[in-house]
Amino acid sequence: MIARLVVMFAGGLLVLSLPVWGAVSPFDVGSRSQLFVDTVLVDDSDNVAFTLHPAREHPENPILKADQPWEGWRVEIFGNVIYDEQEKLFKMWYYAEEEEGFPALGMYYATSQDGVHWDKPLIGEVKSPKHAQHNVIADGILLPSVIKDVKDPDPARRYKMIGYDYGAKGRGYGYHTWISPDGIHWNPFSETPIAPGADVITGYFDEGRGQYVAFPKIAHNVRGFDRRVFWLTTSADFVTWSEPQLVFTPDLRDDAGCLARIEEVRPVLDVPDEPALIRTEFYGIGAYPAESCTLAFVWMFTVSNNARYGNQEGPGELQLASSRDLVNWERPFRQPCVPRGKTGEWDCGFFGTQSRALRVGDEVWLYYGGSNYTHGTPCLYRAEGTGRKTQYTGSLGLAIWQLDRFVSVDAPAEGGSLTTVPVVFAGGRMEVNARVSGSLKVALCDASGKPYPGFEASDEVQGDNLRHAVVWGGSGDVSSLQGKPVVVRFTMRDAELFAFAFRE
């Protein structure tokens, strides 16, 4: 499904606190690609639509299943995937449920040459009463967000992990960190929890900020319900973490859309709704640091009733959010950014993602977990007679976007335009990420909107390219405008504009 917003509005903007900023006008875009997933740089638009582009699913989905006896009846990503540049290998830390063999909850490890076809090496580090060989490398750890740190001088800290300690090693329950020389043999690192709360946390290293970032779940009352919501904590050294700050809470628009989301999965639900309990909660946060902003893949949970086992029932889905500071998030689109499977398919029920999406060539890859059951389905709470593996299972898939193509500014055949706020840039040339059947032209103007001499309407941009060169009279040199306030005016017809950049 494609969602369109013809008029931008502030209803999707969650403002909880403001960071300390210097002057931001004209806005410094440097040489970074500027996406239209947010409206920070949009001053005016005419006859254009802002369009969400859901990911395309890999044709071989699901790319990882519970197909080994020691994996039990389902797998969930509940972890992370990295691409190891030194070993030229994709590595995955994930979760499976085989309670008899691994009563303390196993952390599983897999590798892949291409990111699609996965090996499960029999290097298990956990003794199991049932399985002599397996790929479980640790137990008692949930949501392992694994980071490879090649800059740490201590080889024992080459790999770092943020996760939830299930209390298996005597440290107690809580959000903790671990270190490893190889990503397989792990040792506890934090002495005390890095944040309060319980069970769901995701994290990654933000190269642009030089910080470790984590989103812990800490319950909070929102409009009369204690809900699953997410906070932000950061660390420069992986030792000392900031006081958590509330950054993700469901808003009124989320709650107003609950029934529509419930109806999408009505055939999967087997308990009637409890109207007084219907609400939205957040189950987790996956992230992707783009050049100009950070994207979040929010695990939406729509509560339909209190189910049968002391927990809530309801479906999940993945939605897109964006932020320039990790505190203030825009969520203009409230539709899935990863398509839901049809009723009965492997990913029609509940969703989660890896902690950080990957840049793979000119694509963005997001590994995600999908299921054909919802949050309160009996198979999650007892084994006998609930259809585990015969009717219900969880698997892992791969969602893919072309680089920066999450949201586009679309102009119809009769034409439209978009004008930015004043910006300053680095670099000597301009490029646009666009799909153009008709025409796209660019004018570079001063802060009052008057075109700079020589930078009136550019030569026409046509075709489909992630990096169209913008030229004026055959020349693409814009270095004379470096350091000056520049308003960028796009004039388009029959075109989709995804991003622009001034490059070195």
- How far is Cα 344 from Cα 297, in angstroms, rounded to an integer? 24
The closest alpha carbon to 337, from 275, 406, 242, 433, belongs to 406
pLDDT at residue 172, as a whole number: 82
What homologous superfamily is domain 62-402 in, according to CATH?
Glycosyl hydrolase domain; family 43 (2.115.10.20)
Distance in angstroms between the alpha carbons of the first and the last residue of the chain: 37
Is residue 19 within 8 Å of 327, Cβ to Cβ? yes
pLDDT at residue 169, as a whole number: 67
What b-and-e string marks burial along 483-499, b requiring 16 or more CB atoms within 10 Å of the CB?
Answer: eebbbbbbbbbbbbbbb
CB-side neighbour CA atoms (13 Å) of 242 = 14
Is residue 328 within 8 Å of 381, Cβ to Cβ? no
Is residue 467 within 8 Å of 379, Cβ to Cβ? no
Q: What is the pLDDT tens value at each position of the chain, 504 positions in all?
A: 444 433 332 333 322 333 445 689 999 999 999 999 999 999 999 999 999 999 999 999 999 999 999 999 999 999 999 999 999 999 999 999 999 999 999 999 999 999 999 999 999 999 999 999 999 999 999 999 999 999 999 999 999 999 999 876 667 899 999 999 999 999 999 999 999 999 999 999 999 999 999 999 999 999 999 999 999 999 999 999 999 999 999 999 999 999 999 999 999 999 999 999 999 999 999 999 999 999 999 999 999 999 888 899 999 999 999 999 999 999 999 999 999 999 999 999 999 999 999 999 999 999 999 999 999 999 999 999 999 999 999 999 999 999 999 999 999 999 999 999 999 999 999 999 999 999 999 999 999 999 999 999 999 999 999 999 999 999 999 999 999 999 999 999 999 999 999 999
Kind and range of the H or E element at 318? Answer: strand 316-323
The closest alpha carbon to 320, from 34, 1, 30, 37, belongs to 37
- How far is Cα 179 from Cα 181, in angstroms, rounded to an integer? 7
CATH classification for the domain delimited by 4-12+27-52+409-503, as one of 1.10.10, 2.40.30, 2.60.120, 3.30.70: 2.60.120
Longest dimension (CA), the chain: 77
- Indicate the pTM of the whole model: 0.94
pLDDT at residue 16, as a whole number: 30
- How far is Cα 369 from Cα 63, in angstroms, rounded to an integer? 10
- How far is Cα 229 from Cα 198, in angstroms, rounded to an integer? 11
- How far is Cα 52 from Cα 241, in angstroms, rounded to an integer? 35
- How far is Cα 163 from Cα 149, in angstroms, rounded to an integer? 17
pLDDT at residue 308, as a whole number: 86
Tell me whether the omega of the peptide bond preceding residue 62 falls within 30 degrees of 0, making it cis.
yes
Chain-centroid distance of CA 51 in Å reads 18
Is residue 94 within 8 Å of 143, Cβ to Cβ? no
Length of the chain: 504
Transcribe 3-16 into DSSP letters: -EESS--STTEE--
Token duo for residue 166? 């299930």
- How far is Cα 311 from Cα 376, in angstroms, rounded to an integer? 7
pLDDT at residue 10, as a whole number: 31
pLDDT at residue 17, as a whole number: 33
Would you report the helix, strand and coil content of the chain in percent, each value rounded to 5?
A: 5, 45, 50
Is residue 8 within 8 Å of 50, Cβ to Cβ? yes
Three-state DSSP class for residue 184:
coil
Is residue 171 within 8 Å of 138, Cβ to Cβ? no
Question: Rounded to the nearest 5 degrees, what angle is found at the Cα of 338, between the Cα atoms of 60 and 91?
Answer: 55
pLDDT at residue 23, as a whole number: 81
**Beta-strand pair 423-425/27-30:** parallel
Question: Rounded to the nearest 5 degrees, what angle is found at the Cα of 224, between the Cα atoms of 221 and 225?
Answer: 60
The domain ranges of the chain are: 4-12+27-52+409-503, 62-402
The closest alpha carbon to 16, from 332, 327, 330, 296, belongs to 327
Show the beta-strand stretches assigned E in 149-252. Answer: 159-166, 173-180, 187-188, 201-206, 211-216, 220-222, 225-227, 230-235, 245-248
Token duo for residue 427? 């670099």
pLDDT at residue 323, as a whole number: 98
